[in-house]
Structure 1
């Protein structure tokens, strides 16, 4: 029997299978836990603080390249049943951040709209949160500020809470249980 070399098509397919098998192993090394010696936060700095007041939820996050403060976060529902997030994001970190996605516990995804100013504008990465800036998210109307419009949910009641997941480009996932208030 004569040996024939592998065809280029076969070699490409074999390389793709090997890469698909190796990718999860490589990715797991990138997300090593604290016992791997990776410094996730600055020495002596608290990673997060969370508080709830009559105005909403306030969260402060400090870590390497992250110094975010989310204040007065709540879900507002207007008389027609439309709901949106009301919050202010203050980025004091050294890097420009983006609010990339907002989703709800039921699997719904919010619609992000950008504002008129550079910090708060909608980019391909999400709503831009420039270093040293504070961006307020308000009602999805004709205003010049950015907004987060939530999908309709008949079970949403004023006085309850809404589990919300914010996804930031650098800070990552932030889970909050926000109070639902009347607009």
Structure 2
């Protein structure tokens, strides 16, 4: 009987460990994510690919002009403009594309606006950061998942705002 009870508890123990490991691995507490998810509103329009707005308590981000410049092999860059309208600094931590694709972030060499820090690319309070050109960059390699509408689903991970989804316009490079 003891073996039977232990066998029934094992799946719960494994699930509990996975939950704890997942929360620890992401670097943010689950209460931070819950608070962000409960208070942030994301607005993305299918009529305006390349644009998303995220607004909530301590969150005011506008991502505009998101374009994935890709060659035939799916290599290139993601350019975009990110406006942090809040009084709190924000960081872009991670960029993901379909099929486990990932963007490589590179910050500017000097200055605070767009520099690479431990938490990601710095987006100071009340500023606009242009990714691409002389600003920070997002390099894409072997990207898959371009839609028939010539857009690329992209997920941006911010330190305060959390996960933000948008469709970047795809242009040949």
1:170 aligns with 2:160: yes
* Corresponding residue SS for 1:162: strand
- Structure number with the bigger relative contact order (C-alpha 8 A, sep ≥ 6) is 2
Relative to the length of structure 2, the TM-score reads 0.71
Q: Which residue of 2 aligns with 1:118?
A: 112
Matched positions, count: 150
C-alpha separation in 2, matches of 1:155 and 1:21: 33
Deviation of 1:152 after TM superposition, in Å, equals 1.8
What is the RMSD computed on CA atoms of the aligned residues?
3.4
Q: Is the 8 A contact 2:95 2:155 kept in 1?
A: yes
Q: Which consecutive unaligned segments of at least 5 residues does structure 2 have?
A: 1-12, 24-28
C-alpha separation in 1, matches of 2:53 and 2:145: 29
* Corresponding residue SS for 1:118: coil
Say if 1:182 and 1:95 are closer, same or farther in 2 by CA, change over 3 A.
same
Q: Is the 8 A contact 2:51 2:167 kept in 1?
A: no
1:129 aligns with 2:129: no
Say if 1:72 and 1:24 are closer, same or farther in 2 by CA, change over 3 A.
same
The structure whose residues are more often helix, as a share, is: 2
Q: Which consecutive unaligned segments of at least 5 residues does structure 1 have?
A: 1-17, 42-46
Deviation of 1:158 after TM superposition, in Å, equals 9.6
Deviation of 1:39 after TM superposition, in Å, equals 6.3
Q: Is the 8 A contact 1:158 1:181 kept in 2?
A: no
Relative to the length of structure 1, the TM-score reads 0.68
